[in-house]
Structure formats: C-alpha cells, structure tokens
C-alpha cells in the first residue's frame, strides 16, 4: 500500500465524508449533486485510490478534484503473523506520524477485522497495555475506515472481511462522533456495505454514551467490558467505574438492548484472585439477571509490566459452569494472536456472531 504522496495540507480528504457532506461539497465546486454518489461508488465500491481511475467522471472535474481533494490511505509499516494461530497484526502510520494497530482474525468462515478508534487510550484500565500507553488523539472517521480498507486491499483479490469489531486501541464511545460516522460509512449501501449485524462496538461502559448509542438506533452490536461484579473491584481495575459505576452501566446496557432489539455482549476478563471466585460468578448471574445479554469469559492474557495473572483452567471452568446456570452457552475465549497483540489483546477475542 502506498500512502498518498500529494501534499494534503490544503486539500480535502474525500474519504470519511458521508453522502450528504459530499453532495454539499460538489455543489460548492459547481457540480451537480449526483456527482457525489458517483464519487462514493468509486471510493468505496470500486476502491479507487486516485482520481485518474474515475473514468466516468469528466476530465475537467477530475483535474479539479486533483487540485482540491485527495483520497487517504494508511501507510502499512509492518505486518506480524501469529505463530499460534492465523491472526495478523497490522501496524499503520497516520499522516501525522502516529501509529496504530489493527488486527485480522480468522475463525472458520469468518474473517474479522479489529479496528482502533484512538491513538492510545485515556481510560487507564490497569489490565490493558494500551491503557498503560496513555492517550495521544482521537482518530478521524477516515482513519477508522481506512484500517478496514487497508487490510482488505492487502488481502487482495477483492477479498472482504465478514465481520468488523471496534475493539482495538482506544474507547470507541469516547470518540463518539467519528466512531458513529465510521459506522454509518461502513454500513451505508453507498459505502462499504458491511451488514450492521456483523459489526460490534466494544465499550468499557460510558453509560451516557451507551444511551446515546441506543437512541441513534444503529443496529450494530454492542459489547460492554464489565470485568467485575462489585464497584470496589471494578474501581480498582477500571478507573472509569468511579464515574459510571455498575448500577449505571448495566441499566444503560439494558436500555440499549431493549431499544435496538439485540442482546448486549458482556465481556468479563478473568483475573486470578481478583474477580474469578465462585462468589463472583454467582453475583455476575444476579446482576445480569434482567439484562438481555450474552456472556463472554476471557481468561486474562498476561502482559509484561503487569502483576495480574491468568486463572488456572479449573478455576475458569468452575466460573463458566456457574455462569451457565444463567446463560445456556458461556464461551470462554482466548485472545487471538496472543503472541503478537499484547498492545490491546485483552478484549480482542475470537468473535463469534450469532447470525
Ligand atoms: S481496555 Fe480498552 S478502554 Fe481500557 S485502557 Fe485498554 S483500550 Fe482503553
């Protein structure tokens, strides 16, 4: 993949703009509104990377576009394949030199791309390597969709991901506007045409944003990273819990599930001696009893610089059995590509969609 070589300082990136924004733009440039739809098709269906490819657009307008606009692409720095499974970690460079990770995961017939929404993360979850890195900035909608498009371009042959998960670096709902825009562009028939039910956004539980997400009505999936059954333990693991404690997060998740008509996925990272006791398992069933939900258990993926440990397999099984009294199926997921994705591997799980 090549990064766009044009000087982009004064030019407008056409990627990341929704149809109504493109329509406004082309009209400002003296073109008819339908040109915007044409541009969308070239950008997202035909995956054009330069204006010369857009052969059904008049040469004079193409020349105009070259002067005024550009089509962003991410620069691929490295690609690392896991020795354990087929997971591939992509390291991309942004135009300002910041770097982000995206991950490609295979599971039976599913090809899942995990995208980042921020450079670093401000949330500081103590079990997460990205949280230890701190926060640099939010990604734009273009930078979010360019991760998916960049990986698909790398796959070649017109191959597409079947699923997209927003579980990479950053908290998607803390970058709400750009995340929503990226989601709309991904699901738009004029955009990347990913089925909403094949996309999942993972949040650590920003309660007001979960409610906004429900009101916005996009039918994509939602995963909430819970990881504790008491505020005392959750405060320790996830500083955000002091702002939005469990008794605010779960009603918001319930509201989302009822409004959208889908069950929310509850992610629970099991950490030895911290949140993995039978009492925790019973409490978890109790606090989730009226939340339409699915439960994913994720044994902690040990990372350098952290004193937390993965529970013994028997302990995980005991927890799973208790949780199974509330849920018919309780998958225990191992983080994919455990040897390569330590940067934010805790929640990046083998994602199984129900559809
Ligand atoms: S787990 Fe997610 S929200 Fe928490 S610090 Fe890591 S990237 Fe941020």
* List 4, 23, 101, 152, catalytic entry: 101
- Is 344 annotated in the active site? yes
Q: Tell me the pairing of strands 88-93 and 264-270.
A: unpaired
* Domain 75-344, CATH class in plain words: alpha beta
Q: Tokens representing 242?
A: 């002091």
Give the ligand 1 atom nearest the CA of 225.
Answer: 1
* List 4, 114, 121, 344, catalytic entry: 344
The domains spanning 12-70 and 75-344 adopt the same CATH topology? no
Q: What global pTM score does this model have? A: 0.92
Nearest residue (by CA) to ligand 1, atom 4, is 125
Distance of CA 296 to the CA centre of its chain: 17
- Which pLDDT belongs to residue 335? 64
Can you count the helices (H) and strands (E) in the chain? Answer: 11, 13
Q: What is the pLDDT along the chain (355 residues), one digit of tens a residue?
A: 333 334 456 899 999 999 999 999 999 999 999 999 999 999 999 999 999 999 999 999 999 999 999 999 999 999 998 888 888 999 999 999 999 999 999 988 999 999 999 999 999 888 887 777 789 999 999 999 999 999 999 999 999 999 999 999 999 999 999 999 999 999 999 999 999 999 999 999 999 999 999 999 999 999 999 999 999 999 999 999 999 999 999 999 999 999 999 999 999 999 999 999 999 999 999 999 999 999 999 998 877 777 899 999 999 999 999 999 877 677 787 666 665 654 444 444 444 333 3
- With beta carbons less than 8 A apart as the criterion, state whether 121 and 169 touch: yes
**CB of 250 closer than 6 A to ligand 1?**
no
Distance from Cα 235 to the centre of ligand 1, integer Å: 14
Q: At how many degrees (to 10) do helices 246-260 and 207-216 cross?
A: 10
**CB of 119 closer than 6 A to ligand 1?**
no
- Which pLDDT belongs to residue 331? 78
The helix or strand, by DSSP H or E, that contains position 311, with its residue range, turns out to be none
- Which pLDDT belongs to residue 303? 73
Residue from 102, 134, 167, 171 whose mutation best tests the ligand 1 pocket (most atoms within 8 A of CB) = 171
Q: Tell me the pairing of strands 221-225 and 264-270.
A: parallel
Give the ligand 1 atom nearest the CA of 174.
Answer: 3
- Which pLDDT belongs to residue 348? 44
Domain residue ranges in the chain: 12-70, 75-344
**CB of 204 closer than 6 A to ligand 1?**
yes
- Which pLDDT belongs to residue 301? 81
Distance from Cα 245 to the centre of ligand 1, integer Å: 16
Residue from 100, 125, 175, 244 whose mutation best tests the ligand 1 pocket (most atoms within 8 A of CB) = 125
- Which pLDDT belongs to residue 338? 60
Residue 347 CB contacts under 8 Å (≥ 6 apart), including other chains: 128, 167, 202, 223, 225, 267, 269, 298
- Which pLDDT belongs to residue 5? 37
**CB of 121 closer than 6 A to ligand 1?**
yes
Domain 12-70 falls under CATH 3.10.105.10: no
* Residue 124, Cβ density class (10 Å: 0-12 exposed, 13-18 middle, ≥19 buried): middle
**CB of 191 closer than 6 A to ligand 1?**
no
**CB of 130 closer than 6 A to ligand 1?**
yes
Distance from Cα 226 to the centre of ligand 1, integer Å: 12
Long-range contacts of 82-86 (CB under 8 A, 24+ apart): 82/336, 82/337, 82/338, 82/339, 82/340, 82/341, 83/339, 84/337, 84/338, 84/339, 85/336, 85/337
**CB of 128 closer than 6 A to ligand 1?**
yes
Q: How far apart are CA 201 and CA 256, in angstroms?
A: 12
- Is 101 annotated in the active site? yes
- Which pLDDT belongs to residue 14? 98
């Amino acid at each position: 993949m090549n990064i766009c070589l044009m000087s982009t300082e004064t030019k407008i990136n056409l990627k990341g703009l929704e149809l109504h924004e493109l329509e406004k733009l082309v009209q400002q440039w003296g073109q008819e509104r339908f040109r915007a739809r044409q541009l969308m098709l070239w950008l997202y269906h035909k995956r054009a990377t330069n204006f010369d490819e857009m052969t059904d657009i008049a040469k004079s307008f193409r020349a105009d576009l070259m002067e005024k606009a550009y089509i962003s692409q991410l620069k691929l720095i490295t690609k690392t394949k896991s020795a354990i499974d087929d997971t591939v970690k992509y390291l991309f460079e942004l135009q300002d030199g910041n770097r982000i990770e995206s991950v490609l995961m295979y599971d039976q017939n599913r090809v899942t791309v995990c995208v980042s929404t921020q450079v670093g993360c401000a949330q500081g979850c103590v079990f997460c390597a990205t949280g230890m890195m701190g926060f640099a900035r939010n990604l734009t909608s273009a930078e979010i969709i360019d991760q998916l498009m960049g990986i698909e371009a790398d796959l070649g042959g017109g191959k597409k991901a079947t699923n997209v998960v927003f579980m990479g670096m950053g908290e998607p709902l803390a970058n709400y506007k750009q995340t929503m825009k990226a989601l709309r562009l991904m699901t738009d028939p004029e955009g990347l045409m990913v089925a909403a039910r094949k996309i999942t956004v993972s949040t650590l539980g920003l309660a007001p944003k979960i409610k906004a997400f429900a009101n916005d009505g996009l039918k994509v999936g939602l995963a909430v990273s819970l990881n504790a059954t008491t505020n005392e333990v959750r405060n320790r693991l996830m500083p955000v819990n002091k702002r939005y404690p469990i008794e605010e997060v779960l009603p918001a998740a319930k509201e989302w599930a009822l409004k959208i008509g889908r069950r929310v996925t509850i992610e629970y990272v099991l950490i030895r001696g911290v949140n993995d006791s039978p009492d925790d398992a019973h409490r978890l069933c109790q606090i989730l009893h009226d939340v339409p939900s699915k439960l994913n258990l994720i044994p902690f993926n040990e990372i350098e610089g952290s004193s937390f440990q993965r529970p013994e397999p028997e302990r995980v099984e005991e927890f799973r059995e208790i949780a199974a009294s509330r849920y018919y199926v309780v998958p225990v997921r191992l983080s994919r590509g455990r040897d390569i994705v330590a940067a934010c591997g805790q929640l990046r799980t083998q994602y199984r969609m129900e559809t």
